[in-house]
Chains A and B, each alone.
Chain A
């Protein structure tokens, strides 16, 4: 009995429930419109640590600890933890869980990591390989800036298309439970390179990958946009969002009613530093783990398609003049 639908989608036959989620957000994110849904808002970028990297690790650790508390489970009962982040060698994740003593699988999907970790963790449970799994990711503005761009104090001007990396971490505990939102489908995206070379226009680079994955998801599952209360991409920002609506519109899918992008939701729209919108693994993660899960609990939404979008570039590839390959993974969540 195959659980694969169509070309790229896995259908989970068993119940894979979201037992709990936790969202840790940075100070600036805490001034945004979704602030009340976060479990913790940092008072400053450093959070008592002497390096930004340590702060980011602490955010992941706290996200999982908080989610474990909320699910009322013992952390040792987690069978596998799936984690990833934006830093070289994924050190935010590995350093966060080095003392946890839980089987660890590190992933890199750039900003698509929340969807990737969720989908793989759900597959482990549905396949009968695990009872409890954790999925977690993070990004931090300061660690991302120093790795991908310039020192924080450097006086540069950002282009209107540049996006602002979200400081935040989202953690999810998956297991089997009653009357909880469930992960029903996982559409694994292919790498799509639309030829965009501007690392300051990642929304435009990622939109075709997101469009392909969403389109494939609809075809594989025989669904249409109206089957969802909300379709949510991770961090396309204003430009990517508008391109995605165009691309899917050309294929006959009307996305105007129930589609949004976390990058357009996470920050205060009057904040002049944000330019194109929010980005980073944390962008989708804190929006999903905070606001979206709260909407499920309040029965305000019942079906969500969460699409993590990742730009798979590195500072080296950008300097060598390469275009930006992108990937998007979709996870369908439904209330039970």
Chain B
């Protein structure tokens, strides 16, 4: 393999960190939060695939496919909810939706 496993892991970690930072910082937009989550999932998928290649077993790749399927379902649902939320409050700022707070 041209790329060593450690490089892949570092890359995946960086990708995951970027996703986390995206979720934490860009909170004025729900869509950006969702994108951040997607990035984190992609980082995880990358680790699966890298592992699968490293040890020559198919499980990791199967799992990556599963994640792709699940993510597409999740995104479609989440985007529908975003549309709904936007209709209710005319905004996509995460902090505006605080109905679940204590009291």
Tell whether A and B belong to one assembly: no
